[in-house]
Structure 1
Amino acid sequence: MSHAAEETASQPDCWRHAIDLAASRPGGLPEPGERVAVIGCGTSLFMAQAYAVLRERAGLGETDAWAASEFPTSRRYDRVVAISRSGTTTEILRAMSVVHGHAATLTITAVPGSPAADHSDDVIVLDFADERSVVQTRFPTTLLTLLRAHLGQDVSGLPEQAERALHMPLPADANGFRQVTFLGAGWTVGLANEAALKVREAAQAWAESYPAMEYRHGPIAIADVASLVWMFGDAPDGLIDEVRATGAELQLTLLDPQAELVRAQRMAIELAARRNLNPDAPRSLTRSVILT
């Protein structure tokens, strides 16, 4: 079994740990009313996107999600939160080195004593959710569990949802699809982006992601009988019929969208196995992007 498969299966316990951690009120998380930027790269960016929408919808303050490489360091925020599993990503370190001292800074990472801590007022370490696989699974979802709990959401049932996700059937013959599209709305756009990234990384498969309403504005043209369209959360009115009219296979959300992401992770790892690929070491990727 790959490390990615083992780490995917460990998510219920990791989420329980994150709920306990949130109850201890770790320092550095955004306070109500603060103007917040959340920065990340790849998977971490997509978790930032989900969190930003959830925080704003909870009425807790303006929240922007930025790719670390595109973060406008001259823009004023009360707090900047960096998400980095390794705490070594070049773009994260560059951005945090500029804003540290001008705004409150927090890094959420899986590695104690990582370089990002040097540019952070506070650090939250999720070392229990660290991963050996290059492909991230449990770290981002554990992080999101912590953040959702801090927002005041009732996440007590999430671990049980994750357990269900580990045993529910996946779309039939996923390897037979020419391409896969993941759709979301609101906070689940970030989850759809992450699901597509997992399929690309692990299985080198054609996977895309869009806000569900935007899918109508062009991307639906690629859908046919060899396509799988997977919706995270509730589908907008009329979209189900429009997707089915293309002949594409439609997968609707059966669980909390975060738990649904676990099912997508499983599909990506299964696709990798069927294609004789190693999800722990995807082509051209490393655990952390460190630029010279």
Structure 2
Amino acid sequence: MSITTREIDSQPDIWRAALELAPRATELLARPGERVLVIGCGTSAFIAESFAALREAADLGETDAAYASEPRRWREYDAVIAISRSGTTTEVIDALRAVPAGVRTIAVTGVADSPVAEIVDDVLLLDFADEESVVQTRFPTTFVLLARAAFGEDVSDLPDAAAAALAEPLGVEAASVGHFVYLGSGWTYGLAQEAALKIREAAQAWSESYPLLDYRHGPLAVAGDESLVWMIGRGDAGLADDIRATGATVRTSSHDPLIELALTQRMAVAVAESRGLNPDTPRHLTRSIVLG
């Protein structure tokens, strides 16, 4: 069993542990009326998009998401939240150092004594969700679960539901698919982007991600017999029919979107293994990008 597989399968227990931190997460992430910027790189940037959509939907205040690696004109924010599993990503550190004095800074990280943790005002420490694998799985899902709890959503049943779903067969023959597409809407679009990244990283597979209803606007042209189009969260019956007409396989959600993301992670591992690849150590990648 790969490290990545063990880490994916550990998510129900990790999520249960995370829910004990809900009061701390509420204190740091859910201050009503604050204008917030949330930043990250790679997986963390996609999760930042989901977080921003969830926070605004909870009517807690304007929330923007941005890539830490893409400097932008500063706007007036009350707080900046930086997501960094390792706490060592150079672009995240540089972005935090550029935050004006007086703006509250918060790190969401898996490493307590990391450079990112040391330069912020507050830390939401998820060290119990940290991972050995280069490929992130349980750290981002744990943060999103905790954010949803902090924003007032009852997610207490998700650990047990995830355990049941992860025990089921995937229902897709991994070796038969050559093209993977993930679609999301609202906060799940960030999850769709993350799902597509996972299978690129772990399995060197051709993958794409789009907002659900935008898929008709061009990308549908490359769907075909070897395509799997996975709708994470909200579905659309008319779009599903249009996709099936291309010969592609359509998969719609039967679980909570976070559980669907965990299942896409399992798919990425299955595809990697069918191709003789090690999902723990993707080529050209390291656990953290540290620039000289």
TM-score past 0.5 threshold: yes
Instruction: Select between 232-241 and 182-191 the one with higher mean Cα deviation.
Output: 232-241
Is 1:217 the counterpart of 2:224? The answer is no
- Name the counterpart of 1:206: 206
Asked if structure 2 preserves the Cα contact closer than 8 Å seen for 1:182 and 1:209, the reply is yes
Instruction: Select between 107-116 and 164-173 the one with higher mean Cα deviation.
Output: 164-173
Q: State TM-score, norm by structure 2.
A: 0.97
Offset of 1:24 from its aligned partner?
A: 4.7
1:100-145 C-alpha deviation (Å, 9 max, x unpaired): 6241100000001100123210011111011000000111111111
Offset of 1:73 from its aligned partner?
A: 5.5
- Name the counterpart of 2:81: 81
- Name the counterpart of 2:51: 51
- Name the counterpart of 1:125: 125
Could you say if the C-alpha distance between residues 266 and 25 of structure 1 is closer, same or farther in structure 2, counting changes exceeding 3 Å? Answer: closer
Q: Kindly provide the amino acid, as one letter, of the partner of residue 104 in structure 2.
A: A
Asked if structure 2 preserves the Cα contact closer than 8 Å seen for 1:134 and 1:281, the reply is yes
1:43-83 C-alpha deviation (Å, 9 max, x unpaired): 11111111111111111111111011124262221110000
Equivalent residue runs for 1:11-160 within 5 Å: 11-24=11-24, 27-72=27-72, 74-99=74-99, 101-160=101-160
Q: Kindly provide the amino acid, as one letter, of the partner of residue 59 in structure 1.
A: D
Sequence identity, in percent?
A: 56
Cα RMSD between the aligned structures? 1.3
Q: State TM-score, norm by structure 1.
A: 0.97
- Name the counterpart of 1:7: 7
For structure 2, the residue ranges without an aligned partner over 5 or more in a row are none
Offset of 1:244 from its aligned partner?
A: 1.0
Determine the C-alpha separation between the residues in 2 that align with 1:106 and 1:81.
5
Determine the C-alpha separation between the residues in 1 that align with 2:52 and 2:79.
13
SS in 2 for 1:70: coil
For structure 1, the residue ranges without an aligned partner over 5 or more in a row are none
Q: Which runs of 4+ in 1 moved over 6 A?
A: none
Q: Kindly provide the amino acid, as one letter, of the partner of residue 16 in structure 2.
A: R
SS in 2 for 1:99: coil
Is 1:228 the counterpart of 2:228? The answer is yes
Asked if structure 1 preserves the Cα contact closer than 8 Å seen for 2:25 and 2:147, the reply is no
SS in 1 for 2:255: coil
Asked if structure 2 preserves the Cα contact closer than 8 Å seen for 1:223 and 1:248, the reply is yes
Instruction: Select between 174-183 and 253-262 the one with higher mean Cα deviation.
Output: 174-183
